[in-house]
Amino acid sequence: MSKRITVLAGDGIGPEVMDEAIKVLDAVSAKFNLSYELDHQLVGGAAYDATGTPLPEATVKSCEQSAGILFGSVGGPKWETLPPDDQPERGALLPLRKHFGLFANLRPGVCLPALTHASPVKQELIADGFDVLCVRELTGGIYFGQPKKRGTNEEGTEFAFDTMIYTKPEIERILRIAFTAAMGRDKRVCSVDKANVLTTSVLWRETAIEIAKEFPEVELSHLYVDNAAMQLIRRPGEFDVLVTENLFGDILSDEMAMISGSLGMLPSASLGKQNDDGLYFGMYEPSGGSAPDIAGMGVANPIAQILSLAMLLRYTFGENDAAKAIDDAVASVIADGKRTGDIFTGATGEAKVGTAEMGAAIIAAL
């Protein structure tokens, strides 16, 4: 299997936080005797400025020859007025997802015990921390279903519709990812649907019950999406893995990010093809954006990028020990009181650090 990783730092804080992630990769590679070939390529606004397109062919070629992509973030005010296809997000991020068939979006919502004050939910509800993995289907459902149409009927009334459609194999493969992930966690999957009104959800729920039989150790529960939105606030500590279709996952994963406290802490993985070893081609990136308001100041939190690297090691290379070492190093640095500006409160025991200092502390903990 290719040991190549395409590195796409992108715009804004992307290059700053990527620097720290690469240093962490060097450190973890030395510790666990791993070896990867990194190929840095242009993407987003930086690529547009240099080549006239946000997704140059050389970048796509490099990704095709790699096992996975470590992505920073793209976009910023400088490129907002460009035509849609030249814009960093629409012209690079979405085409990459499409080109590589990245159908599974994994977003851990994690709030470490020392950071629960940053969460807007009641402290006692997450006193032991908050740690949920949201598995969202990313390439199907109502966002992509055809036909979609806007028109005017014979009576002169305007109408519009979208189509929510799923094939059974699309549902099966995303559920298998959720159940497999649960096996490495607390072995509980909550499948979120709207099976009381949506036909797609009826198929989803039946399929979930079938796939659960392949994973007898994992406990499956079901929630309607409206109830799931409530229960996440009411009893956030009680979830392990949430799995749901595209639209519901878009909304619930943002709700989970809010419960977690800071965007600067949250990684994500978008997985595509699975190889014979059960590992995935994937694109790994922070949940947040390019944060133009703090770009270039050396204050961005590199943890989302560093935890994205840990996800890459886990899902693309199967290096679970190395991935866990990174997760643990991050947790220990937070427990020590090190805080970038986004998670700093001024409480006793906290020390405010910049991007590079946070990276160095994580490497020291490793």
Please list the active-site residues: 143, 194, 226, 250, 254
Judge whether 133 is annotated as a binding position.
no
Using DSSP's 3-state secondary structure scheme, residue 334 falls into helix
Give Dmax over CA atoms of the chain in angstroms: 71
Q: Is 73 in the site for ligand NAI (CB under 6 A)?
A: yes
Q: Is 39 in the site for ligand NAI (CB under 6 A)?
A: no
User: Using omega within 30 degrees of 0 as the cis cutoff, is the peptide bond preceding 147 cis?
Assistant: yes
Instruction: Tell me how far, at minimum, the Cβ of 53 lies from ligand NAI, in Å.
Output: 16
Alpha-helix residue ranges (DSSP H) falling in the chain? 14-32, 44-51, 57-64, 88, 94-99, 168-183, 199-212, 225-234, 246-260, 303-315, 320-335, 355-365
The single residue among 172, 186, 219, 250 that binds Mg ion, judged by CB under 5 A, is: 250
Q: Is 102 in the site for ligand NAI (CB under 6 A)?
A: no
Q: Name residue 188's beta-bridge partners.
A: 219
Half-sphere exposure of 37 (CA within 13 A, CB side): 9
Instruction: Tell me how far, at minimum, the Cβ of 330 lies from ligand NAI, in Å.
Output: 13
Judge whether 299 is annotated as a binding position.
yes
Contact region with ligand NAI (CB under 6 A), list: 74-82, 140-148, 219-227, 230-238: 74-82
Assigned token pair, 302: 């590199």
Q: Which of 338, 109, 355, 50 is nearest to 240 (CA)?
A: 109
Judge whether 295 is annotated as a binding position.
yes
Q: Which of 281, 351, 306 is nearest to 26 (CA)?
A: 306
Q: Is 269 in the site for ligand NAI (CB under 6 A)?
A: no
Rounded Cα–Cα distance for residues 287 and 110 (Å):
12
Rounded Cα–Cα distance for residues 183 and 314 (Å):
14
Contact track, ligand NAI, 234-263, x by CB under 6 A: -----------------------------x
Q: Is 342 in the site for ligand NAI (CB under 6 A)?
A: yes
Judge whether 84 is annotated as a binding position.
yes
Q: Is 285 in the site for ligand NAI (CB under 6 A)?
A: yes
Nearer to ligand NAI, 134 or 164 (CB): 134
* In contact, 268 and 285? CB cutoff 8 Å: yes
State which of positions 3-22 bind ligand NAI (CB under 6 A): 13, 17
State which of positions 286-325 bind ligand NAI (CB under 6 A): 288-294, 300-301, 304
Nearer to Mg ion, 215 or 248 (CB): 248
Residues that bind Mg ion (CB under 5 A): 250, 254
Q: Which residues bind ligand NAI (CB under 6 A)?
A: 13, 17, 73-76, 89, 93, 263-264, 285, 288-294, 300-301, 304, 342
Task: Write out the binding residues for Mg(2+).
Answer: 226, 250, 254
